[in-house]
Structure 1
């Protein structure tokens, strides 16, 4: 069903944060930068036998794929925003993209551990000077990409639900480029130590350190996005705000309350009210109007007979 087919009693289900188109453009630019640098680092790492540089290059290749997923998620959500088959719209597509990116980050960490550990078993000959130049350029590209993606990848709202306004898709893309920057820094440190102190083993060791950092970010992002996808509600403040708004009127009591995220900064609610003074559903929706996070509200009113239900 399209927006122009809606009756006066229906509404569209477009639950977005408002900056998706700009985020999509920024993500596509970063994809291009990442692909170019990825090819350069893999070629240089192979040519100069630097595990730190090679790991950074392959790391960037998976990030290019993850960033591509982020860009696809924005486009898919926009194209299908009016598709009635998506019950609560496509606001969660970006969260799904973020979850996929988290899994890719985890796989990258495992591959880096495998390759780094295998290189610790025998002495490596590394072209330090050439590899250093490529690593520095890679770091610059990663920092520029992070700036393009706009900091932490969320809008700034000044209320107690700030964390609900995170664009998980953009945040995942941002974490990917920051992870690239970290591996670039580690690669530069390893190459400098190898060049000036002869510590060739620092090259694969830095690969292991980078893997640990990336694995930690992967787990955190997976936990956050997974919670949204599973409709997990840990916002007790929002729950109490809804309860206070309803029970502050007449002798209303909440008998059932379901809250879940349906998009960036958007929540849905199913509210069951028992009362001696039943009113139309619109009355209770007006009570909840100050709770700005609620974008889709379903009200059930149960009349109370006698004192037991109070």
Structure 2
């Protein structure tokens, strides 16, 4: 018989931020400030004859889109499950995180293309306006990244928004530093070199986000959960002689599910055992949604069994 448990009552014990963590104000501030900044950059770019500012305005507009995407996913994840979407809409956070990771690398490619274009076709610009707007960008993007700092360790969807803002802040730092060095030295080649170095740092630093979101999309066990350790822990439960068909996968960027068959010959107090199992899985491994089937003896495997045969 299958026994299903969902750890709603213990959500406050999650290692990351709570599942109902309210990032709405952070998203609202981030989107509002960046929209104002995009308008300012576009106007400044036209006035200062700076294609760099215009392209950066386009890039920042894509960041507004990614913030809206992440926010929409967090709101969608809170909707109740339906007869068709039996797990609810929590998976939207994984899809949004994956799309945002891809958008981040597209943005890096766009900036690199713009740098190459400026090397090939240099044009005089109003350096004071460019550095001034870039300095404003450091403040706005730095503040927005700071708003997401709390959740970025526990939620890959929030981390995607955090890295987008951090990337923009670092690019703006590069613009200011490069502009100042070019102003004082006259070495025009410094600006693209500094920009390329920053892009390389961001690209390498963001690779982990892309890799993790792809893994979550493929329903791999979350990186912070050791499946072998979970299997050993289950085998050590009272009366359990074997574990098979153990599956651990992410329901969202915060919620993890587990299904398993436990062979427990002549097991007594099955309900009490399962209740304690649910509690301990949440506190030991942050697995909030578990479905466990208790069996008296090892069943037939393979074509006559349940799923994949796994070594106990």
Q: Tell me the TM-score normalized by structure 1.
A: 0.80
Query: How far apart are residue 227 of structure 1 and its match?
Result: 1.3
Q: Is the 8 A contact 1:53 1:131 kept in 2?
A: yes
8 Å Cα contact 2:34-2:64 kept in structure 1: yes
Counterpart check, 1:143 vs 2:142 = yes
Q: Shift of residue 54 of structure 1? A: 4.0
Q: Return the offset for 1:181.
A: 0.5
Whether 1:184 and 2:191 are equivalent positions in the alignment is: no
CA contact (8 A) 1:98 1:225 kept: yes
- Bigger drift between 91-100 and 26-35 goes to 91-100
For structure 1, the residue ranges without an aligned partner over 5 or more in a row are 1-8, 155-162
What SS does the corresponding residue of 1:99 show, helix, strand or coil? helix
Q: Deviations over 1:204-261 (max 9, x none)?
A: 3344334333433443212112212211124553542453244331252112311112
Alignment partner, residue 229 of structure 2: 240
Cross-structure match for 1:60:
60
Q: Does 1:153 align with 2:141?
A: no
8 Å CA contact retained: 1:259, 1:267: yes
Provide structure 2 residue ranges, at least 5 long, that are not aligned to the other structure.
Answer: 299-311
Moved more, 286-295 or 9-18: 9-18
Shift of 1:44: 2.1
SS of alignment partner, residue 71 of structure 2: helix
DSSP-derived class of the 2:22 partner: helix
User: Following the alignment from structure 1 to structure 2, what is the Cα–Cα distance between the partners of residues 102 and 227?
Assistant: 12
The alignment's TM-score, normalised by the length of structure 2, stands at 0.80
The answer to whether the 8 A contact 1:273-1:300 is kept is yes
Output one character per residue of 1:237-296: Cα deviation in whole Å (capped at 9) or x when no partner.
Answer: 354245324433125211231111223543211111223324575354234221212322
User: Do the aligned partners of 2:6 and 2:290 also contact (CA within 8 Å) in 1?
Assistant: no
